[in-house]
Structure formats: C-alpha cells, structure tokens
Amino acid sequence: MINSMTGYGQAEGEVKAVSYAVEIKTVNNRYLKTNIKLPEAVAFLEEDIEKLLRKNLSRGTINYALRLKHITANALFDIDEMALQAIMDRLSRISCSPRPAPGGAWQIDISSLLSLPGIIRPTLPDKEMLEQIKDAVLNITQAAIDKLKQMRAAEGSFLEADLKNHCQAIKRDLQRIRARSDAVLQEYAKRLRKRVDELLAEAKLKLDEETLAREVAILADKSDISEEIARLSSHLARFAESCQANPPEAAAGRRLDFISQEMLREANTIASKASDAEIIHYVVDIKCRIERIKEQVQNIE
C-alpha cells in the first residue's frame, strides 16, 4: 500500500470552557515541511506539535492551524478592576471641574479605558492547567492526523491502481519487444543476403558465407537488448513490491521515483540500440507510460 501526500484532517475538543479546533492540510513536497499557526495563548505547544507531525508523516508540506472557539471571557483575560476604578475616580473628579469639555459635559468612555495598557491582562494558566491544555491539544492533533492519514491512504489506493495499470501495459510491450527482437536478426540476415547477392550477381562473384555471418554477428551484438529488457523487467518487479509493501515503506515515493528514473534509462537504451520500426513503436509507448508513472510518483509520500 502507498499513501498520497495530499490530504485533509480536522478535529475538535474542549478544555475548561475553551474549544480547540485543529485543521491539517498537506500537499506535495520532496521533503517534509511544516507550517504551524497557533494562537498566542498556546504558542508554547509548537515544538510538541512539530514532533507529533514528524512522527506520523514523512513527506509533504504540512499546513497546521489551531483555532480557539466558544471561549468564555474568563478563559481569555482578566481585567485589573482596581486600576480601572482608580482611573474612573480621577476622571470623575475632573468632570466636576468648572471648565467642562468643549461642546458639553464630560463623558467617560469605558471602551477607551479598556484599551489602556495594563487594564486587560491575558489569563496565565497554572502548571496543572498547562499540562491539561497540552494533553488535550496533542490528542486533538492526533485525531486530526489519523483522519488525514485515512484520506491519504484512500487517495494512495487510487494512485496504486493507476500505477499498476501502467506497469502491466509496459510488461505487455516488453513481451512484444522480446518476441520481435528474435525475428529482427533473421530478417536482417535475409535482407543482407539478398542485397549482397544482387550486387555480386552483376560482378559474377560468389558470396563468402563466413563474411555474411560475421556481419550478422556484429549487428546482433550492437542491437542486443536482452540485458536492457531483463533490467527493465526487474525494475517493474521492484516497483510493484514497493507499492504493495504493508505497512508502507518510509518515504516510498522517493524509492519509486528513483526506480522510475532507472526504468526510463533502460527504455532509452533499448530505443538507441533497436533498429526496427516496430520495436521503436513499442518503446515510445513504454516511455509515455514511464513519464506518466514519474508524474504520479510525485504525489506519493
């Protein structure tokens, strides 16, 4: 089984009147890259979240976001009531001044007072609360990761089916090439004998069978593609093994990418050695299949 690098996972949970929502989105990347966005109140969890993500995922760009929802006022901040009351008392005394503000009486705007430095202070949880928040957020994160992995596995199954179809088509073309390569030499020997006989007939000379055999042997050596066919077949078998490994191999996408490059190398060598139009036609189809495989492999974790 193989996993896709594209996926989405979401989970929610609540701790002490605060609801936490985690969203994880992943896209393709040659390596593992994490983008973690946390509210300031839980910024201390970034390292633990990073470790958890790297423990569960091996490749891809991971976009992680944690949001706070349904928060009560007491859970967010405290108001320094003594400081606020002191400011209001002083403003009240000023409002009794014989010189009112231009255009009318003095007015005290509470919202403006709340924006003064030090009036509103963030709630600082104690050590026990920090541990509760940490455990809750990491549990929620793990739940989101599990959903993400399920989606990546589902998409991976579609990728595997597509890759399997391409590999089967390549195997069929290789069988045709192998069968055709045996007949190519015989046809070449016949054409060469016919051509030489025509030329020698005009000169009334006799063909040297040893010379003809030597020429055919030279072509056979230059156009021998049996080793390339064997190596390409071996790469296909190894490719299938890596796709079907259970549990999936770590960073299987990198291994499959390397194997597909080697497959293309052998196909190019076959094309350069082959002197038969029919074999070239099969090789073109094989190379198209391998290019499609290389594209799909970029989506595999």
Reported as type and span, the H/E element at residue 178 is helix 127-203
Least confident of 14-23, 107-116, 130-139: 107-116
Mean predicted confidence (pLDDT) in 92-103: 61
Confirm whether 149 is domain-assigned.
Answer: no
Would you say residue 251 has pLDDT above 80? no
pTM, 2 dp: 0.69
Same domain, 96 and 213: no
At 199 the pLDDT is: 55
Same domain, 208 and 286: yes
Same domain, 110 and 200: no
Residue from 163, 166, 160 nearest 288 by CA? 166
Same domain, 279 and 184: yes
pLDDT confidence tier of residue 35, bands split at 50, 70 and 90? very high
Residue from 52, 57, 64 nearest 135 by CA? 52
Same domain, 109 and 165: no
Confirm whether 131 is domain-assigned.
Answer: no
Confirm whether 270 is domain-assigned.
Answer: yes
Same domain, 198 and 93: no
pLDDT confidence tier of residue 81, bands split at 50, 70 and 90? confident
Out of 62, 92, 117, pick the residue that ends a domain.
Answer: 117
Confirm whether 96 is domain-assigned.
Answer: yes
Would you say residue 26 has pLDDT above 70? yes
pLDDT confidence tier of residue 187, bands split at 50, 70 and 90? low
How high is the mean pLDDT of the chain? Answer: 81
Domains contained in the chain, number: 2
On the CB side of 210, how many CA atoms lie within 13 Å of its CA? 0
Measured from the Cβ of residue 224, the count of other Cβ atoms closer than 10 Å reads 13
Residue from 88, 127, 94 nearest 109 by CA? 88
Going by C-beta distance under 8 Å and a sequence separation of 6 or more, which residues neighbour residue 267? Answer: 232, 283, 286, 287, 290
Same domain, 279 and 218: yes
Measured from the Cβ of residue 217, the count of other Cβ atoms closer than 10 Å reads 12
At 246 the pLDDT is: 67
Same domain, 160 and 292: yes
Same domain, 208 and 293: yes
| Dist CA 58 CA 28 (whole Å) | 11
Show the 3-state SS of 237-294: HHHHHHHHCCCCCCCHHHHHHHHHHHHHHHHHHHHHHCCCHHHHHHHHHHHHHHHHHH
At 170 the pLDDT is: 95
Residue from 125, 182, 123, 140 nearest 52 by CA? 140
Confirm whether 124 is domain-assigned.
Answer: no
Using one digit for the tens of pLDDT, what is the confidence trace for 266-300? Answer: 999 988 887 788 888 999 999 999 999 999 999 98
Which residue range is the domain that position 86 belongs to? 81-117
Confirm whether 70 is domain-assigned.
Answer: no
Would you say residue 104 has pLDDT above 60? no
Residue type, 103: G
Same domain, 106 and 167: no
pLDDT above 90 as % of the chain: 42
Confirm whether 55 is domain-assigned.
Answer: no
